[in-house]
A and B are shown apart, each in its own frame.
Chain A
Amino acid sequence: MLNSTQNHTALVFAECSDGKLRRVALEALGIARRLAQDGGAVHAVLAGGESAARSAAAAELAARGAGVVHVIDDPALALFAPEAYAAAIGAAAAAVGPSVIVLGHTAVGRELAPRVAAALRAGHIADVTAVETTDGGDAVFTRPLYAGKAFERRRFLPGSPWVITVRPNNLPIADLVPEDRKGIIAALPFTAPPLRATIRSIARKVGGGVDLSEADVIVAGGRGVRSAAGFAPLEALASTLGGAVGASRGACDAGYCDYSLQIGQTGKTVTPKLYIACGISGAIQHLAGMSQSRVIVAINKDPEAPIFSVADYGIVGDLFEIVPLLTKRFQHFLAQPGD
């Protein structure tokens, strides 16, 4: 077992959003530490344009077990230019010589990991939801197939570096390390390569609070929502719970909402702690995208709707009546002092 005795040098891509560290970066760090174990080394690369929040992000990584946090500040990294970011990871990889590179399986990580893997001729195991270590010390990675209708367990073969992307919300974040084992923060020299792609403009999402892939709570609407305006009560419930709004393919196809909200085998696969399906019948392609959620609540007029077969709790009724009541109830409940 070559894998078992290998002392990994791990490199984590510390993804930020608006200069702030994303939780998935700490989940990636957690896996990196597990793989490196005691004999290995853990590095993080923190790349971006100059930002005031960066030092806080670097300190957090160092406090959670990144031995060295390599900070790259470059104007070319101010916006997400994949060529520049792939080069930044490349610069860190050249400095560190990692045997494992870990990124989040986010929009950003999904663009960078394949390019980094191909450049290093590394293997890429994507969208990892669990990591186990066998008795022999082999790391085994679980990932969904067919959006969760099946799973596979894979392992890397010896001889090449590993690139892993981890699905947000599925793996524990890295623990704090004792004060005397905190990592160091160091600037990494970087010259941005010539960039061929030009970011011309960005239309920011309005209000865009919680991202679907990282949301703990998702309130999703289907055809039963009946119109774009029909999403308003769902948005109110989601915002009360600090969650995000999603949709079924039916609602997207009907034009009630943007395809970026679609959950299912086409669209996004999500694994929140709580999934509230409103007016969604539960077609197999939708169930594939959400049935790994921890707790599922279904609200539907039709008692025979297939969504009830996967729901932990079902309410047969009109979502336009139930959802506002639920919002009110949660507001009342969350306002109570915790005991």
Chain B
Amino acid sequence: MNMVVLLKQTFDTEEKIELVNGSVAEDHVKFIINPYDEYALEEALRLREKHGGSVTVVSCGPDRAGEALRTALAMGADEAVLVADNDLPDDGLAIAAALAEIVKSIAPDLVLAGLFAIDRGAGSIALQVAERLHLPHASAALKLDIRECDELPEANTSGGNSPYTTILEANASVNSSPANGVVKEGVAEKMGGCSDHHHLDENPRAKEAGKRSMKAALPDWEAASELIASVERETEWGIETVLLPLPALITAQQGLNEPRYPSLPGIMKAKRKSLRHLTVNELHLTADDLTPRSERLALLTPPPRAAGKKLTGTPEEQTIALVELLCSEAKLFGAD
């Protein structure tokens, strides 16, 4: 199984942000692989250990981003590609276009990326890449398994002391019925891509959708074999298990895994691995791709927050004083 990991180099989370002449100062700053991208990379390495194949890390950034890619190679990635960003406008669309071109040339079975980058924090680029390449996606993965198409995954795996109710059975129509304090809910099946007879036979609507999907919403290439990804992902409403036919793009949430440190032999090996440098001119981008959609007008740091008052007295007195201050001074919980 061939995989691409989209990776960005970011400031370490411990770094303060200081502005010098209107831009963020980079002197003496420690750079890291964006933590969410590191989960994505670790997952790709684990999947390769299980299923074979290759892992290519791809980044778009300045020269220094090469260090992050070298670290990724030391962790175990097979190859790396760095697109120099100096001819790209400061806009997500152009970066997504550049990354999509490279992913397309590799035509991997699976694309992994972080949920968002801790610097810009938009979480936009990876999903723009998915859209450009007509790949289905699943966001915020907490668990990921790859299976052959005819293997049916079990309904769910969370258990123990998890803060979630038990789970739904697939294949039922949508209805809710609280029983024994457990919320059970049917999930409408939405099938496509891979021919999962068990589901399709029982749901005519899904069957129809499945047929159409074979012709219509196809990705720009086909996966090497009929594989599906089973993704447990974090949502605001709970943990959702989603099945995706490959090729697909999946973003990693914190908790997906514990990334490894590069080993010493890994670091030595990484020096001989391929780190390809590309310029924007070497990609087939259109003038429209390179046209910025937005621009930065100003960069600012927030006004420092002044320390307030520490309360005194017995614990009782302090809590009474606090509730009063929150009402009278901070104007919370007022009459209005």
Task: Judge whether A246 is part of the interface by a CB distance below 8 angstroms.
Answer: no
Task: Judge whether A147 is part of the interface by a CB distance below 8 angstroms.
Answer: yes
Which of A153, A206, A333 interacts with B163 by CB under 8 Å?
A206
Q: Which of B116-144 contact A (CB under 8 A)?
A: 116, 118-132, 136-140
What is the predominant secondary structure among interface residues of chain A facing chain B? Answer: mixed
Known contacts being A146-B17, A325-B315, is A154 close to B294, with CB within 8 Å? yes
CB atoms of A316 and B310 under 8 A apart:
yes
CB atoms of A203 and B164 under 8 A apart:
yes
Query: Which segment, of B40-48, B71-79, B237-245, B259-267, faces chain A?
Result: B237-245
Q: Chain A residues with Cβ under 8 A from B236's Cβ? A: 17, 106-108, 211
Query: Which segment, of A38-46, A52-60, A265-273, faces chain B?
Result: A265-273
Q: Chain A residues with Cβ under 8 A from B209's Cβ? A: 76, 192, 194-195
Of all chain B residues, the one with the shortest Cβ separation from A155 is B297
Q: Which of A262-316 contact B (CB under 8 A)?
A: 262, 264-267, 269, 273-274, 283-285, 288, 291-292, 294-297, 303, 308-316
Q: Chain B residues with Cβ under 8 A from A151's Cβ? A: 299-302
Q: Chain B residues with Cβ under 8 A from A157's Cβ? A: 291-295
Q: Chain A residues with Cβ under 8 A from B310's Cβ? A: 303, 308, 313-316
CB atoms of A329 and B323 under 8 A apart:
yes
Known contacts being A155-B295, A200-B153, is A119 close to B131, with CB within 8 Å? yes
A309–B118 CA distance with the chains assembled, in angstroms: 23
CB atoms of A149 and B128 under 8 A apart:
no
CB atoms of A202 and B185 under 8 A apart:
yes
CB atoms of A295 and B302 under 8 A apart:
no
Q: Which of B28-78 contact A (CB under 8 A)?
A: 35-36
CB atoms of B192 and A196 under 8 A apart:
yes
CB atoms of B254 and A262 under 8 A apart:
yes
Known contacts being A151-B300, A203-B238, A204-B185, is A295 close to B332, with CB within 8 Å? yes
A228 to chain B, nearest CB (A): 8
B144 to chain A, nearest CB (A): 13
Query: Which segment, of A25-33, A94-102, A110-118, faces chain B?
Result: A110-118
CB atoms of B14 and A121 under 8 A apart:
no
Of all chain A residues, the one with the shortest Cβ separation from B96 is A118
Known contacts being A124-B124, A313-B308, is A194 close to B213, with CB within 8 Å? yes
| Number of chain B interface residues as a range | 35 or more
CB atoms of B217 and A75 under 8 A apart:
no
Known contacts being A121-B93, A149-B17, A325-B315, is A114 close to B323, with CB within 8 Å? no
Q: Chain B residues with Cβ under 8 A from A156's Cβ? A: 293-294
CB atoms of B187 and A199 under 8 A apart:
yes
Which of A144, A274, A303 interacts with B332 by CB under 8 Å?
A274
Task: Judge whether A198 is part of the interface by a CB distance below 8 angstroms.
Answer: yes
CB atoms of A118 and B238 under 8 A apart:
no
A339–B167 CA distance with the chains assembled, in angstroms: 46
Of all chain A residues, the one with the shortest Cβ separation from B300 is A151
CB atoms of B132 and A118 under 8 A apart:
yes
CB atoms of A313 and B309 under 8 A apart:
yes
Query: Which segment, of A78-86, A173-181, A218-226, faces chain B?
Result: A78-86
Task: Judge whether A193 is part of the interface by a CB distance below 8 angstroms.
Answer: yes
Closest 9 CB pairs of A and B: A123-B293, A194-B213, A126-B122, A114-B127, A118-B131, A312-B308, A118-B128, A203-B164, A149-B17
Told that A152-B299, A198-B191, A199-B190 touch, could you supply 7 new A-B pairs with CB distance under 8 A? A146-B17, A198-B199, A199-B241, A202-B168, A203-B166, A206-B165, A326-B319
Chain A interfacial positions (CB closer than 8 Å to B):
17, 49, 75-76, 78-84, 86, 106-108, 110-111, 113-115, 117-119, 121-127, 140, 143-157, 159-160, 162, 192-206, 208, 211, 228, 252, 258-260, 262, 264-267, 269, 273-274, 283-285, 288, 291-292, 294-297, 303, 308-317, 321-322, 325-326, 328-330, 333-334, 338-339
15 contacts between A and B (CB under 8 A): A78-B174, A114-B123, A114-B127, A115-B131, A195-B192, A202-B168, A202-B238, A205-B238, A267-B254, A285-B14, A317-B318, A326-B322, A329-B320, A329-B323, A334-B333
Chain B interfacial positions (CB closer than 8 Å to A):
11, 13-17, 19, 24, 35-36, 91-93, 96, 116, 118-132, 136-140, 153, 155-156, 158, 161-170, 174, 183, 185, 187-193, 196, 199, 205, 209-213, 216-217, 230, 234-245, 248, 253-255, 288, 291-302, 305, 307-311, 315-316, 318-320, 322-323, 325-327, 330, 332-333, 335
